[in-house]
Amino acid sequence: DGVGTILLDNEKTRNSLSLEMMNSIQRNIVENQHDTELRCIVLAAKGRVFSAGHNLKELTAERGSEHHKQVFHKCSELISAIQSAPVPVIAKVDGLAAAAGCQLVASCDIAVCSDSSTFSTPGASFGIFCSTPGIAVVRAVPRMRAAYMLFTGLPITAHEALQAGLVSKVVPQEQLNEEVSNICKAIASKSRAVITLGKTFFYKQISINVGAAYELGEQIMVDNLATVDGREGIKSFVEKRSPKWTHRE
């Protein structure tokens, strides 16, 4: 079906993002991204906690600053891998997403959660401000909402997360699998090459000014029309038939 699922499966640590866990997620994203059959990636978790964030046992003073740097750098690499992936990465959340776990959700292309899910950045409560999680959160939600989450550490509900833009959709728990499946099917019905082109441009244009974005976007549209699937899409529309994608870039 073109869907690659990555399961966070360490309920004992509340699916904490240990170095081992982050390495595994990143490896799965990077190693499979050239699979031409892959259309999207789903990040899911076992149990009632999506992820409680970094494993605090890896952040003790005994571990030392060099180890701490390694942990946070690996997290940054993971976030970069998600946004650099040629296909959309979807977070399927059923439960708590806290600190770096919330960062992980905010960094995905699409996030769908159950109506009982909650989101928080409670680091300050443990003497560690959620500085790096805040980078992703403030880019997903308005400044006031991000500041509330970061300075109070209080959780927000699934519907508050939806209203703020932290997640794409909220559904009853029993409908979560079906909803994510429907989203994956919708993505899989498109040309992989076109989705890859679009995702790459989407994130690039966010980081530049509007004038430059339109200038680049104009050329991207022209380039898109020159691709095999771009031509096929227009031709199939004119001929009133379903397109036959090659998925070639």
Give the model confidence (pLDDT) of 222-231 as tens digits.
999 999 999 9
pLDDT of residue 9: 98
Q: Examine the domain organization and report whether 182 and 202 are in the same domain.
A: no
Say what percent of the chain tops pLDDT 70.
100
* 122 and 209 assigned to the same domain: no
Q: Check pLDDT > 90 for residue 237.
A: yes
pLDDT of res. 3: 97
Nearest Cα neighbor of 71 from 16, 109, 32, 28 is 16
Q: Per-residue pLDDT tens for 196-207?
A: 999 999 999 999
Decide if 245 is inside a domain. no
- Residue 54's alpha-carbon distances to 115, 124, 240, in angstroms, are 24, 14, 52
**The CATH number of the domain where 87 resides is what?**
3.90.226.10
- Domain co-membership, 197 together with 118: no
- Residue at a domain's end among 188, 215, 230: 188
Shared domain for 99 and 219, answered yes or no, is: no
CATH code where residue 208 lies: 1.10.12
| One domain, residues 169 and 198 | no
As a whole number of angstroms, the distance between CA 215 and CA 81 comes to: 26
Domain hosting 221: range is: 192-238
Can you tell me the mean pLDDT for 112-118? Answer: 99
Strands (E), the chain: 3-8, 40-45, 49-51, 89-93, 96-98, 110-114, 118-120, 156-157, 169-171
What's the mean pLDDT when you consider all of the chain? Answer: 98
In a domain, 247, yes or no: no
Q: Are residues 210 and 90 in the same domain?
A: no
If asked whether residues 153 and 32 sit together in one domain, one would say yes
Judge whether 226 lies within some domain.
Answer: yes
Please tell me the predicted confidence (pLDDT) of residue 20. Answer: 97
Average pLDDT over residues 57-68: 96
Instruction: Answer yes or no: is 249 within a domain.
Output: no
Domains of the chain: total: 2
Same domain, 90 and 210: no
Among 147, 163, 188, the domain boundary falls at 188
Same domain, 120 and 222: no
Residue 26 has pLDDT above 90, yes or no: yes
Which tokens go with 149?
């989450």
184 and 212 in a common domain: no
Q: Same domain for 22 and 132?
A: yes
Residue 177 domain flag: yes
How does pLDDT run across 134-154, given as a tens digit for each residue? Answer: 999 999 999 999 999 999 999
Check residue 32 and give its pLDDT.
Answer: 84
Flag whether 246 is in a domain: no
Looking at the domain assignment, is residue 244 inside a domain?
no
Report pLDDT for 41.
Answer: 98
Q: Are residues 175 and 219 in the same domain?
A: no
pLDDT value of position 34:
87
The answer to whether residue 79 sits within a structural domain is yes
| Cβ burial, residue 172 (10 Å; 0-12/13-18/19+) | exposed
* Chain segment 71-99, per-residue pLDDT in tens: 999 999 999 999 999 999 999 999 999 99
